[in-house]
Structure 1
Amino acid sequence: MFIAEASEKFDLSQDTLRYYERIGLIPRVNRTKSGIRDYTEEDCRWVEFIKCMRGVGLPVEVLIEYVGLFQQGDETKGARKDLLVEQRKELRSRMEDMKNVLERLDDKITRYEMTIAEREKTLHR
């Protein structure tokens, strides 16, 4: 699959895909004899993984480290697992923070709705 197809499939710009490859977020993509990127299923799995992880806010630096560890081979499985466990912990913490903020927003919106409803009742009397 060429870069245009991968771009469309993952809803990422071609520039973003090139950037991900350049900074090491995805391993180097094979190229045709004419130099066009040719994404394999494995490459697509990497793009999908990175898009998913970035979508929930995992830092680029952590993901670059993960990809680098992966490329070093099986002896880094423990380090990769540790890295993912730490990111899961941080994500859970952020989710709890977001839940608290959401509750606060809901409360504030409810109070505004009550105030507005109160004012409309008064105006219609």
Structure 2
Amino acid sequence: MRDYYTPGQVAERFDLTLDTLRYYEKAGLLRRVERAPSGHRRYRADDVELLNMIRCLRETDMPIVRLREFAELIREGDHTVPDRLDLLQGHQERLAERMEEMRRCQKVIQHKIDYYRGVLAAHTPDPLKETS
């Protein structure tokens, strides 16, 4: 595994823009990113690992405030593991509730699709019937 990753490599890996990466830094989700001797920003493997988790949490609509809290807990050390666990379990519970609601909505939508298909089928002439 590499020691360092460029912002471009990280952005490509997680399908993020460079602006999003900088925003995550400014928002306190990432610790201050190291600089190469040339002055260019570079990410360590643990930064990349955290970014993967941040991306997953963000994709599941965890608010930035909670993401920042999670990142701060990580930076504070292992004594915060119980707090991290609580935060993630709470998020997972909210996510499960949302997923169940999405499944209910999907059933309603599918019912309406089936209804409209039935309406169309009832009003569409059968091409196999002879026309006079």
Q: TM-score, normalised by structure 1?
A: 0.91
* Structure 1 portions without partners, runs of 5+: none
SS at match of 1:38: strand
* Structure 2 portions without partners, runs of 5+: none
SS at match of 1:97: helix
More strand by share: 2
SS at match of 1:39: strand
Q: How does 1:89-100 map to 2 (within 5 A)?
A: 89-100=93-104
* Runs of 4+ with >6 A deviation: 122-125
Q: Greater Rg, structure 1 or structure 2?
A: 2
For 1:106 and 1:20, the matched residues in 2 are separated by 38
Q: Give the corresponding residue for 2:82.
A: 78
For 2:38 and 2:26, the matched residues in 1 are separated by 19
Contact 1:26–1:50 (8 Å) recurs in 2: no
For 2:107 and 2:68, the matched residues in 1 are separated by 34
Residue type at the aligned position of 1:32? A
Percentage of identical aligned residues: 35
Q: How far does the alpha carbon of each residue in 1:25-81 deviate from its partner, in whole angstroms, 9 at most, with x for none?
A: 222221113331111111111111111111122222111111111111122111111
